Amino acid sequence: MSFTRLSSLSKNLLILHATVFVWGFTGILGALITVSAIHLVWYRVLIAFITLYIYFKVSKTDLKVSRQSFIRLFFTGAIVGLHWILFFQAIKISTVSVTLVCLSSITLFTAVLEPIINRKRISRLEIIIGLLIISGIYMIFKFENNYTLGIICGLASAFCASLFSIINSKQIKNRPAPVISFYEMLGASVWISIYLAISNGFNTSMILSTSDLFYLLLLGTVCTSLAYVAGVAVMKELTAFRVALVTNLEPIYGIILAFIFLGKKEQMTTGFYIGAFIILGSIFLYPAIKNRIELHKYRSKKQLK
């Protein structure tokens, strides 16, 4: 690997870590905003869409994509929107800590989904890591059974996040990250608006307080437009699985922030922390084992030569 390639990889990893830290703060904002999860996400994607549109107008960026690409991104936006609705719903019916740890199962879903979608061989190592994550999730289910519905929403949110991450890892090869984000935000906004129109969701319950408006502006601009564009952009250099692994640092950042901002509400049982340790430990163990395997293969090939 050349120095330039290594430098580019390090830069993208640093950007991804900063992005994940910002994402860790979204859970806090979700807990502080008082409107329902679906109204929260509707405001979020609308603010993000408008912000990106202003950015494109100022920078005079060409937004043209083919009809096929538009349809693909527009429908991917529905998955993005569903991911966020499930994520914030999980926070509202459980806690930030429970939701963020459940989101760590992105690694498990990506280990299974990426080889299927990309028609690649499923890695044994990734399956083993996935099984360890399942055991951690089981521990959380066992000791935090009062948050069962929240855990299910968190896992479903992780599944959606894994799915659109894999889709975006293909999209980023052909078009800029801001353009992908723009059309996916548009798609999410339209699909959620259709649902709200059908379900009579446009009502007085979505009226915002001053604090809600401030938190939503922060959520829609910094935590969505900026962070989402950065998160998609790094996929030019990083695989979907590596992105999923780093994304799993979000629970650590988020749980620390939750203790700082939300205090005692975020205190969980011992069983929860054992389960969280198994999940996060598995995630950090993966790259170390994979590097050893790759090093062993490299040395074996060199000896054969």
pLDDT tens figures, 209-250: 999 999 999 988 888 777 767 777 777 777 766 776 677 677
Output the six-digit token pair for 239.
Answer: 């695989």
Higher per-residue confidence, 133 vs 290:
133
CA distance 157 to 175: 26
Q: Which one of 58-62, 65-69, 89-93, 265-269 scores highest in mean pLDDT?
A: 89-93
Measured from the Cβ of residue 159, the count of other Cβ atoms closer than 10 Å reads 20
* Average pLDDT value for residue range 91-111: 84
Q: Which of 6-10, 39-43, 201-205, 227-231 has the lowest mean pLDDT?
A: 6-10
Higher per-residue confidence, 264 vs 58:
58
Instruction: Decide if 282 contacts 132 (C-beta within 8 A).
Output: yes
C-alpha distances (whole Å) from 188 to each of 229, 251, 272 are: 15, 24, 33
pLDDT tens-digit series, residues 144-202: 778 889 989 999 999 999 998 888 888 877 777 778 888 999 999 999 999 999 999 99
pLDDT given at position 302: 63
pLDDT band at 3 (very low <50, low <70, confident <90, very high): very low
pLDDT given at position 59: 79
pLDDT given at position 146: 82
Q: The dihedral of CA 204, 25, 147, 163: what is its sign?
A: positive
* Average pLDDT value for residue range 34-38: 94
Measured from the Cβ of residue 217, the count of other Cβ atoms closer than 10 Å reads 14
* Average pLDDT value for residue range 254-278: 79
pLDDT tops 60 at residue 5: no
Helix (H, G, I), strand (E, B) or coil at 237: coil
Q: Which of 20, 30, 1, 37 is nearest to 248 (CA)?
A: 20
pLDDT tops 50 at residue 38: yes
* Average pLDDT value for residue range 60-77: 88
Q: How confident is the prediction for the chain on average, in pLDDT?
A: 83
pLDDT tops 90 at residue 20: no
Q: Which of 10, 75, 51, 76 is nearest to 178 (CA)?
A: 51
Instruction: Decide if 73 contacts 180 (C-beta within 8 A).
Output: yes
